[in-house]
Structure 1
Amino acid sequence: MTYDEIVSVLGPVDSELAASLVATGASLEDLREAWNWLHNDDALMGEGRPLPGSRVGALTDLLETEDDEPGPAPAS
């Protein structure tokens, strides 16, 4: 998986996250599936889809961690 492929799914990401995603050995399709699980898990479960495998799970964990990081403090 390349940086450009990652950006095609997630939009702009920092190089540290991109390197972590590549290090999982996952494919572009795995990344798409992880993104879908993060944003549509109820719909996917409703379709009876199996829970994500280990690579997709690792990607999901990395992406969840990225989403949980606090952004800049709001201006007062």
Structure 2
Amino acid sequence: MTHDDIISVLGPVDETVIADIASSGATIEELREAFAWIGADEALVNEGRPLPSARVVALIDLLEAPDDEDEP
């Protein structure tokens, strides 16, 4: 997956995130699926879609914002 592929799915994101995604070995289809799960996980489950693969879950982890629990 190229830099431009990643930007075409996610829009402008941090270069570190782009590098992490590019080095993950994921396909652009997996990135699109991860992005869809982030935006509408309940809707996808309600549609009866299978749960995401391990690689898609890894992409979701890269893309989700960190929890605020770590902040003082």
Alignment TM class, shorter chain as reference: 0.7 to 0.9
* 1:24 CA drift (Å): 1.1
If you compute each CA radius of gyration, which structure gives the higher value, 1 or 2?
A: 1
What's the counterpart of residue 16 of structure 1? 16
* RMSD over aligned Cα atoms: 1.4
Whole-angstrom CA distance in 2 between matches of 1:44 and 1:69: 23
3-state SS of 1:39 partner: helix
Unmatched runs of 5 consecutive residues or more in structure 2: none
* TM-score (ref. length: structure 1): 0.83
Letter in 2 for 1:49: R
Distance 1:23 1:57 in 2: 15
Structure 1 residue ranges without an equivalent (≥5): 71-76
Q: Post-superposition shift, 1:13? A: 1.2
SS at match of 2:42: helix
Moved >2 Å (runs of 4+): 67-70
Aligned mates of 1:39, 1:9 — CA distance in 2 = 13
After TM superposition, the structure 1 = structure 2 runs for residues 1-76 of structure 1, keeping only pairs within 5 Å, are 1-64=1-64, 67-68=65-66
Aligned residues: 68
TM-score normalised by the chain length of structure 2: 0.87
In percent, how many aligned pairs have the same letter? 54
